[in-house]
C-alpha cells in the first residue's frame, strides 16, 4: 500500500509483450502468467466474488459473440438481472446464468452439474468427477494444467459441439482444480477465437496457452481496478447513515450489477434508490445502464 492506495503485484511486461514463437516459449509465458494470477486471486484486498462475476460476464459475452448473436454486456446484464421465478431466460440468458452459477460456489461435481443445467447427458456427474479427479499434481501421465484443460475442452466439444459454454466452463474448472484454486476463475472463453475451438491436439493446447496469457493479463488489470473501487466504497461507508447500509454495501462488493430492489436490507424501494444515488454522488459506484428506469448499479 502506498499513499493509502492498495497496490497489487504487477504483471511483468515481458509476459505479454514478447513474441513467443515456439510452443515451449508460449507454455513458459502462460505458466508465468498463471503464477502471477495466483498471487492476485489469493490477495486479501481483491473483491474476489466480484472479480469472478465480472470475468464470468466477459466469458459469457465471448460465447455469445462467437455464436454470431449481437447481444453484448449491457444486454447480458439485463437478460438476467430482472428475471422473476419461473421466467425463461432464453438462450443468451442461459449462457450468462451458466457462467454465473459456475463461479458462485467452490469447484465440485454438484456445483458444476448445477451450473450446466442439463447441458450434458445424465451421466455427466460421473464424467465431471473423472475429469476433476484426473489431474495429478505431480504431473504424472497427465501433462501440465493447461494441457489437461485443453484435453477436457477437446473431449467435451467432440461429444457436444454445440455446448461451447459447457465445455469452456468444465475446462476452466479443471484448470482451477489443477492450480489449487477453490473456485472457477474464467479465463479460456475470452481468450479463444472461434477458429481455436475447431482445433485439436497440440494446436488446441497452444491456443489455450495463448488464451491464458491474454486473459490472465486482463484479469490482473480488472482486479486492480476493482480493488481501487472497493477501497473507495469502504472509504465512504462511514458517511452512510441508512439502516441496513452494511449489508447493502456487501452486495456491491460481491455482485456484478445490483438493482435497487435487491437491496432488501434497506427500509423501502425508495430508500434503496436514494442510497444508490448517494453512492454514485460520492463516486463509490456507477450506474451501469444509462437509463432513467430499471437501473443497475455496480463498482
Q: Could you tell me the mean pLDDT of each successive run of 10 residues in the chain, 299 residues long?
A: 65 84 92 96 96 98 96 94 87 95 96 86 77 55 83 92 94 95 97 97 97 96 96 95 94 97 94 96 96 96
pLDDT on residue 246: 95
Nearest-angstrom CA–CA distance, 258 and 233: 15
For residue 147, CA distances in Å to 13, 21, 186, 194, 203 come to 24, 18, 16, 19, 11
Nearest-angstrom CA–CA distance, 99 and 112: 10
- Paired with 114 in beta bridges are none
Give pTM, 2 decimals.
Answer: 0.94
Q: Looking at the chain, how many residues does it have?
A: 299
What's the DSSP call for residue 143?
Answer: -
Q: Are 219 and 37 in contact (CB under 8 A)?
A: yes
pLDDT on residue 3: 43
Domain positions in the chain: 22-225, 240-298
pLDDT on residue 212: 97
**Nearest C-alpha neighbor of 156 from the set 180, 196, 182, 124:** 124
The third-level CATH classification (topology) of the domain covering 22-225 is Fic-like fold (1.10.3290)
Whether 22-225 shares its CATH topology with 240-298 is answered: no
Phi, psi of 82 (to 5 degrees): -115, 20
Nearest-angstrom CA–CA distance, 197 and 38: 26
Nearest-angstrom CA–CA distance, 94 and 291: 24
pLDDT on residue 288: 97
What's the DSSP call for residue 185?
Answer: -
pLDDT on residue 240: 93
Q: Which CATH number fits domain 240-298: 2.60.40, 3.20.20, 1.10.10, 3.40.50?
A: 1.10.10
pLDDT on residue 141: 40
pLDDT on residue 5: 67
pLDDT on residue 123: 61
pLDDT on residue 231: 96
pLDDT on residue 2: 40
Amino acid at each position: 500500500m502506498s499513499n493509502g492506495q492498495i497496490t497489487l503485484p504487477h504483471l511483468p511486461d515481458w509476459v505479454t509483450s514478447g513474441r513467443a514463437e515456439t510452443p515451449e516459449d508460449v507454455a513458459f509465458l502462460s505458466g508465468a502468467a498463471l503464477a502471477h494470477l495466483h498471487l492476485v486471486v489469493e490477495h486479501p484486498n481483491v473483491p474476489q466474488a466480484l472479480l469472478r462475476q465480472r470475468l464470468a460476464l466477459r466469458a459469457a459475452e465471448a460465447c455469445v459473440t462467437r455464436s454470431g448473436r449481437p447481444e453484448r454486456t449491457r444486454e447480458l446484464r439485463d437478460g438476467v438481472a430482472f428475471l422473476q421465478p419461473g421466467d425463461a431466460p432464453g438462450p443468451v440468458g442461459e449462457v450468462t446464468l451458466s457462467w454465473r452459477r459456475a463461479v458462485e460456489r467452490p469447484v465440485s461435481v454438484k456445483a458444476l452439474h448445477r451450473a450446466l443445467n442439463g447441458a450434458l447427458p445424465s451421466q455427466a456427474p460421473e464424467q465431471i468427477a473423472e475429469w476433476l479427479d484426473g489431474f495429478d499434481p505431480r504431473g504424472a501421465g497427465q501433462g501440465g494444467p493447461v494441457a489437461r484443460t485443453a484435453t477436457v475442452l477437446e473431449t467435451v466439444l467432440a461429444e457436444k459441439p454445440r455446448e461451447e459454454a459447457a465445455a469452456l466452463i468444465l475446462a476452466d474448472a479443471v484448470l482451477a482444480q489443477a492450480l489449487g484454486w477453490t473456485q472457477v476463475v474464467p479465463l479460456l472463453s475470452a481468450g479463444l477465437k472461434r477458429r481455436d475451438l475447431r482445433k485439436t491436439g497440440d494446436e488446441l493446447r497452444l491456443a489455450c496457452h495463448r488464451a491464458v496469457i491474454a486473459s490472465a493479463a486482463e484479469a490482473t488489470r480488472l482486479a486492480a481496478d476493482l480493488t481501487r473501487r472497493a477501497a473507495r466504497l469502504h472509504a465512504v461507508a462511514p458517511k452512510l447513515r441508512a439502516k441496513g447500509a452494511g449489508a447493502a454495501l456487501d452486495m456491491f462488493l460481491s455482485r456484478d450489477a445490483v438493482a435497487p430492489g435487491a437491496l432488501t436490507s434497506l427500509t423501502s424501494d425508495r430508500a434503496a434508490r436514494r442510497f444508490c444515488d448517494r453512492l454514485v454522488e460520492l463516486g463509490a459506484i456507477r450506474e451501469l445502464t444509462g437509463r432513467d428506469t430499471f437501473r443497475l448499479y455496480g463498482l
